[in-house]
């Protein structure tokens, strides 16, 4: 109702004053007044800015900007809205974000328009912390119709995911509640089911890659064709991240491709890596470059080895790759382990398993191995300048 009235006011050709609410309205949406019509006084403008700063936690600069979108004449409705948010556990930072994003909520009838939505979302099983996080991220949900959008969206997700807890997870990870799922998401899911994507993959798509379902069906059809033409099977899990990767802009795809090619990989090699693990094209250019630099220059791996196992790039360089490779390289230089060890296998180990198998096991002959693993001793310190190790594989 609030948005409808606001939009109607914006369409007035003669720029007449747009008023939201009753005759006792707290809001004047300005920018539509002629010189002969009522103007906002300096006192009212000052009141709005002060309220936004002291009651909503906005900075002075932000408050001045927001005051161009909303003018408060009376504090009652705004107080009611803020008190409702606090009652539901919203912290000051979340409240400030909501007000900055949608200041018109300050003049809404919170008990009639906002409370029912919060009550419904709470009834879906969202805990206090999840509810406040969900709303502060998807603030426009508070503007959407409860009966016309929020409830139908929830019911649709429930019909697809079947389990209540999965619906909650999907709500927390996606912006599906901000769109018309019946018009956009439902046809996309029907398309995927029609080409053989199994239910388990549909569920994973909603949980992990929900943005794939937020585009038009025409765009999704193009992504599907591209994935199938590259050899991805709709029945395989790799099909999903491939669709997600195809959401990248062409310029972004090219930059990431060049980040691989600068290490000597060809276009075919990059496509090989993508087919092995589509998520490799969703890594940042810095992560690609840093990882390739370490494996090629520090571990003497051929770039093609990484293209054949791009999953190695997914691990944290400082927390996993460098510490474990430092230990592995020393052990290999001393002939304590084979040169053809799988680094990917090493990276996947839980930390305790790695320490037990590769650190503690060899501490008698290499007392400083734990210090190397913990970064207290560098490979380049005296006594640890190991020879180049060839033959490493993933």
Same domain flag for 380 and 353: yes
pLDDT of residue 379: 59
Short-list 379, 387, 391, CA closest to 324 = 379
pLDDT class of 381 with cuts at 50, 70, 90: low
Query: What's the rounded Cα separation, in Å, for the pair 287 and 146?
Result: 42
Q: Which of 290, 312, 334 is the last residue of a domain?
A: 312
Residue 275: which residues within 8 A CB-CB, separation 6 or more?
A: 230, 231, 232
pLDDT for residue 3: 39
Torsion of CA 233, 237, 238, 243, to 10 degrees: 80
Q: Do residues 189 and 271 share a domain?
A: no
pLDDT digit string (tens) for 259-298? 999 999 999 999 999 999 999 999 999 999 999 999 999 9
3-state secondary structure of 19: strand
User: Measuring CA to CA, which residue among 199, 392, 379 is closest to residue 312?
Assistant: 392
For position 76, what pLDDT does the model report? 93
User: Does residue 12 lie in a domain region?
Assistant: no
Q: Rounded to a whole number, what is the largest CA-CA distance in the chain?
A: 91
Total tally of structural domains belonging to the chain: 4
Phi-psi region of 335 (alpha: psi -120 to 50; beta: other; left: phi over 0): left
User: How far, in Å, CA of 94 to CA of 92, rounded?
Assistant: 5
Residue 308 sits in the same domain as residue 336: no
Q: For residues 268 and 171, what is the distance between their CA atoms, to the nearest angstrom?
A: 38
Compute the average pLDDT of residues 375-384: 62
Q: pLDDT of 31-40, one tens digit each?
A: 333 333 344 4
| % of the chain beyond a pLDDT of 70 | 84
DSSP state of 358: I
pLDDT of 150 over the 50 cut: yes
pLDDT (tens digit per residue) in 238-249:
999 999 999 999
Across 386-391, average pLDDT: 40
Within a domain: 373: yes
Same domain, residue pair 170 and 127: no
pLDDT at 387: 42
Identify the pLDDT of residue 180: 81
> What does the alpha-carbon distance between residue 326 and residue 324 come to, in Å, rounded to a whole number?
5
Q: For the chain, what is the HEC assignment?
A: CHHHHHHHHHCCCCCCCEEECCCCCCEEECCCCCCCCCCCCHHHHHHHHHHHHHCCCCCHHHHHHHCCCCCCCCCHHHHHHHHHHHHCCCCHHHHHHHHHHCHHHHHCCHHHHCHHHHHHHHHCCCCHHHHHHHHHHCHHHHHCCHHHHHHHHHHHHHHHHCCHHHHHHHHHHCCHHHCCCCCCHHHHHHHHHHCCCCHHHHHHHHHHCHHHHHCCHHHHHHHHHHHHHCCCCCCCCCHHHHHHHCCCCHHHHHHHHHHHHCCCCCHHHHHHHHHHCHHHHHCCHHHHHHHHHHHHHHCCCCHHHHHHCHHHHHCCHHHHHHHHHHHHHHHHHCCCCCCCCEHHHHHHCCHHHHHHHHHHHHCCCCCCHHHHHCCCCCCCCCCCCCCCCCCCEC
> pLDDT value at position 16?
31
> Residues 85-139: pLDDT tens digits?
999 999 999 999 999 999 999 999 999 999 999 999 998 888 888 899 989 888 8
Domain region containing 124:
46-142
Say what the pTM is.
0.70
pLDDT at site 179? 78
The mean pLDDT of 357-382, rounded to a whole number, is 83
For residues 74 and 109, membership in a common domain is answered with yes
239 with 151, same domain: the answer is yes
- Do residues 102 and 128 both lie within one domain? yes
User: Where would I find the beta strands (DSSP E) of 23-93?
Assistant: 27-29
Domain end residue (candidates: 285, 312, 339): 312
Q: Is the pLDDT of residue 42 over 80?
A: no
Q: Is 133 in the same domain as 153? A: no
41 inside domain = no
Residues 56-88 have pLDDT tens digits of: 999 999 999 998 898 888 899 999 999 999 999
- Based on the domain organization, do 234 and 291 belong to the same domain? no
* Residue showing tokens 């290999």: 332
Q: What is the pLDDT of residue 178?
A: 76
The pLDDT of residue 163 is above 70:
yes
Residue 318 has pLDDT above 50, yes or no: yes
H or E segment and range at residue 213: none
What pLDDT does 126 receive?
A: 81
Residue 39: inside a domain: no
| Domain boundary, last residue among 265, 283, 312 | 312
């Amino acid at each position: 109702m609030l948005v409808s009235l606001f939009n109607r006011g914006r369409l007035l050709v003669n720029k007449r004053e747009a008023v939201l609410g009753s005759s006792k309205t707290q809001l004047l949406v300005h920018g539509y007044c002629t010189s002969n019509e009522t103007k906002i006084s300096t006192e009212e403008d000052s009141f709005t800015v002060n309220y936004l700063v002291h009651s909503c936690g906005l900075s002075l600069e932000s408050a001045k900007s927001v005051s161009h979108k909303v003018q408060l004449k009376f504090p009652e409705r705004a107080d009611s809205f803020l008190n409702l948010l606090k009652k539901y556990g919203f912290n000051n930072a979340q409240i400030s974000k909501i007000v900055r994003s949608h200041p018109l909520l300050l003049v809404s009838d919170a008990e009639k328009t906002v409370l029912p939505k919060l009550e419904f979302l709470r009834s879906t099983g969202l805990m206090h912390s999840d509810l406040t996080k969900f709303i502060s991220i998807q603030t426009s949900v508070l503007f959407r119709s409860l009966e016309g959008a929020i409830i139908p969206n929830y019911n649709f997700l429930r019909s697809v995911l079947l389990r209540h807890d999965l619906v909650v997870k999907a709500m927390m990870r996606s912006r599906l509640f901000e769109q018309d799922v019946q018009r956009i998401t439902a046809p996309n899911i029907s398309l995927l089911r029609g080409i053989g994507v199994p239910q388990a993959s549909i569920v994973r798509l909603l949980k992990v890659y929900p943005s794939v379902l937020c585009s038009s069906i025409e765009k999704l059809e193009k992504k599907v064709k591209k994935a199938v033409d590259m050899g991805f099977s709709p029945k395989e899990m790799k099909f999903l991240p491939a669709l997600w990767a195809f959401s990248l802009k062409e310029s972004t795809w090219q930059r990431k491709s060049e980040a691989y090619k600068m290490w000597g990989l060809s276009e075919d090699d990059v496509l090989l890596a993508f087919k092995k693990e589509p998520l490799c094209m969703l890594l940042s250019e810095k992560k690609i470059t840093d990882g390739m630099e370490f494996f090629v220059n520090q571990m003497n791996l051929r770039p093609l080895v990484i293209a054949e196992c791009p999953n190695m790039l997914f691990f944290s360089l400082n927390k996993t790759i460098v510490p474990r490779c430092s230990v592995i390289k020393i052990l290999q230089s001393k002939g304590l382990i084979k040169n053809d060890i799988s680094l990917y296998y090493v990276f996947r180990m839980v930390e305790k398993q790695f320490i037990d198998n590769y650190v503690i096991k060899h501490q008698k002959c290499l007392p400083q191995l734990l210090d190397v693993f913990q970064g207290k001793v560098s490979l380049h310190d005296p006594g640890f300048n190991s020879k180049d190790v060839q033959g490493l594989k993933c």
